């Protein structure tokens, strides 16, 4: 029996300042259409006829297009206070008769309607659940919100916005794994916009199914080249153990010696490359510099090879985190792949997506016989997991010594 989508509402958030981008995101061109047009067409193609666009910054520029696309425009006069105010405005405007809300961002303009269709199918089997599509474990867009949470969202004025509400109902948050990378493509920055344009052009040149994914893609990209993954040397020590992600800490004397030993070991392998790729954090750059001096190579810094961002926990003593955030730290230990604390942190799926984007660029552009990457334990584990098809959760629990070399 065909389901009735008439009481579901698509809410497109367009009110942001576009401050990190520098250009007005809703009207940025992607092919012959703007970002906003791409999103609106996706919503309609999925069979959702009730569409609201929440406007704010430069709303006058959007009004003619919204009128043309027959989309209801709702102005959020509090748009400078953050995205959650726009979410509240859109849900309020949808009315009490709406059964649920799909939240779309113009930042993510290339989501295919097939993803929305999958979410709809899941919604009708679990109508009281939040739904979010994931690509390789990383959460994407759009988020589906059941109407049963409407009043709680509209009345909430605390910290954390929507995440503060969804985190209360973890058992009601369904993560739906999809094969469409577009759900995580975000043009919040100029670099992100270039990635969106590149993705769009590739799809136009190769208009095959979004579901097609080669399980051996990384092996095929590597070909017969040798890959050497080197973990940085030991960092300068603190009075007790810290949680270390992207906090920039230099090598200790022992760490420098570990880097020298790694360079000498690589020298024995008769490496054929003119450069070494390294995360741009100090500990990896220092390790790479020592190795490069031994191998007479130059260093190429790759920011996407940084270790996981741990947000406000980064660089803090573990004992203090346990004392201050006992419940959150326990959850992290139980859910290493998915848990993250705060808006500026990453989990392992976020790390995996970021690292593999950079790794793909290296494999596609490098023409040397061998590839050397100096990085962090988490980064190396992600690459190894994808090359060998091992479970990421199992891989991240393996120990990699400082200065250790993994050869593929």
Catalytic residue among 38, 123, 141, 232: 232
Give the span between the Cα atoms of 333 and 217, in whole angstroms. Answer: 31
Query: What is the token pair recorded at 382?
Result: 């992600």
The strand pairing partners of 74, in sequence order, are 54
Asked if residue 6 lies in contact with residue 97, where contact means CB atoms within 8 angstroms, the answer is no
- Dihedral of CA 130/134/138/142: which sign? negative
Residue 78 assigned as binding residue: no
289 CB-contact burial (10 Å; exposed 0-12 / middle 13-18 / buried 19+): middle
* Length in residues, the chain: 408
Mark whether 376 is an active-site residue. Answer: no
Catalytic-residue membership of 232: yes
Closest CA to 250 of 268, 232, 277: 232
Task: Check whether the bond before 169 is cis (ω within 30° of 0).
Answer: no
For 133, 178, 206, 260, 305, the CA distances from 357, given in Å and listed in that order, are 19, 18, 19, 29, 9
Active-site pick, 307, 346, 376, 395: 307
DSSP 222: H
Which residues carry a binding-site annotation? Answer: 283
Which residues carry a binding-site annotation for substrate? Answer: 283
**Residues belonging to the active site:** 232, 307
């Amino acid at each position: 029996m065909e389901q009735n989508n008439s009481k579901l509402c698509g809410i497109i958030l367009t009110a942001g300042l576009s401050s990190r981008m520098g250009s007005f995101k809703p009207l940025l061109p992607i092919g012959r259409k703007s970002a906003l047009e791409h999103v609106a067409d996706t919503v309609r193609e999925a069979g959702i006829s009730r569409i609201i666009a929440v406007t704010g910054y430069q709303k006058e520029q959007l009004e003619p297009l919204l009128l043309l696309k027959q989309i209801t425009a709702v102005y959020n006069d509090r748009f400078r206070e953050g995205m959650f105010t726009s979410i509240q405005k859109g849900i309020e405007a949808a009315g009490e008769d709406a059964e649920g809300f799909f939240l779309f961002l113009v930042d993510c303009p290339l989501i295919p309607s097939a993803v929305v269709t999958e979410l709809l199918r899941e919604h009708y089997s679990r109508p009281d659940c939040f739904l979010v599509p994931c690509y390789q474990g990383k959460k994407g867009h759009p988020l589906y919100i059941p109407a049963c949470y409407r009043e709680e969202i509209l009345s909430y004025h605390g910290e954390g916005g929507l995440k503060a509400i969804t985190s209360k109902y973890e058992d009601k948050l369904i993560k739906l794994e999809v094969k469409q990378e577009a759900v995580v493509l975000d043009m919040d920055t100029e670099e992100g916009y270039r990635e969106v344009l590149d993705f769009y052009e590739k799809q136009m040149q190769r208009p095959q199914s979004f579901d097609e994914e080669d399980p051996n893609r990384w092996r095929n990209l590597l070909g017969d080249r040798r890959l050497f993954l080197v973990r940085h040397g030991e960092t300068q020590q603190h009075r007790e153990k810290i949680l270390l992600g992207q906090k920039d800490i230099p090598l200790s004397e022992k760490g420098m010696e570990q880097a020298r030993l790694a360079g000498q070991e690589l020298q024995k392998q008769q490496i054929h490359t003119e450069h070494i790729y390294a995360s741009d954090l100090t500990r990896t750059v220092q390790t790479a510099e020592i190795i490069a001096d031994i191998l007479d190579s130059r260093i190429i810094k790759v920011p996407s090879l940084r270790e996981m961002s741990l947000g406000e926990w980064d660089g803090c003593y573990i004992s203090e985190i346990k004392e201050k955030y006992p419940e959150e730290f326990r959850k992290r230990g139980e859910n290493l792949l998915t848990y993250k604390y705060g808006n500026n942190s990453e989990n392992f799926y976020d790390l995996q997506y970021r690292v593999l984007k950079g790794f793909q660029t290296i494999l596609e552009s490098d023409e040397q016989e061998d590839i050397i990457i100096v990085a962090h334990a988490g980064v190396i584990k992600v690459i190894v997991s994808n090359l060998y098809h091992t479970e990421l959760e199992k891989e991240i629990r393996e120990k990699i010594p400082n200065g250790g070399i993994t050869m593929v």
